[in-house]
Amino acid sequence: MSFVVDASIAAKWFFPEPGSDRAMRLLEIDRPLYAPDLIVPELTNLLWKRWQQDDLAEDYARQIAAALPLILRRLVAGVDLAEPAWQWSRRLAHPSYDCFYIACAQHVAGRMVTVDARLLAAVKGTEAGPLVCHLRDVVTA
């Protein structure tokens, strides 16, 4: 099974925070990692925010931005996910940008991995539930 990672997971690859060790181990699992191409602007916006707050050196931000194409090798075009993302957003009453990741998981017949508590709560007990899992369910301590 393939996994789809969201920005909450990918950020942990670059910034030490709770769960970073598990997120790094996700890179070592012998399974394809996908993401909608939406992840690139989400991550670069995070770089910009951290740089603006003097929480990130400009050189390191530039290095991370340059590394994204090397790490995020399997990007799915958002245009191909727009309609199913809209459907998930409507059914879950949840922001569509998160639903692009659910649509991507459906598209690649995989599961989305996240640490986004709000999204996990939104899908619990719904038809989207089996498509989304917490990082700790994929990579144990």
Q: Give pTM, 2 decimals.
A: 0.94
Q: Is the pLDDT of residue 141 over 70?
A: no
Give the strand order in the sheet containing 33-36: 74-76, 33-36, 3-5, 111-114, 132-134
- 1 neighbors 31 (Cβ within 8 angstroms): yes
Closest CA to 137 of 104, 116, 113: 113
Find the mean pLDDT for residues 117-137. Answer: 97
* Beta bridge partner(s), residue 114: 134
Q: Where are the domains of the chain?
A: 3-37+73-138
pLDDT tens digits along 10-49: 999 999 999 999 999 999 998 999 999 999 999 999 999 9
Burial label, 86 (beta-carbon count in 10 A; 0-12, 13-18, 19+): middle
pLDDT tens digits along 61-102: 999 999 998 999 999 999 999 999 999 999 999 999 999 999
The pLDDT of residue 62 = 96
Query: What CATH homologous superfamily does 3-37+73-138 map to?
Result: 5'-nuclease (3.40.50.1010)
Amino acid letter, residue 85? A
Tokens of 73: 């090798």
The pLDDT of residue 140 = 82
DSSP characters over 14-78: HS--TTHHHHHHHTTSSS-EEEETTHHHHHHHHHHHHHHTTSS-HHHHHHHHHHHHHH--EEE-H
Amino acid letter, residue 94? H
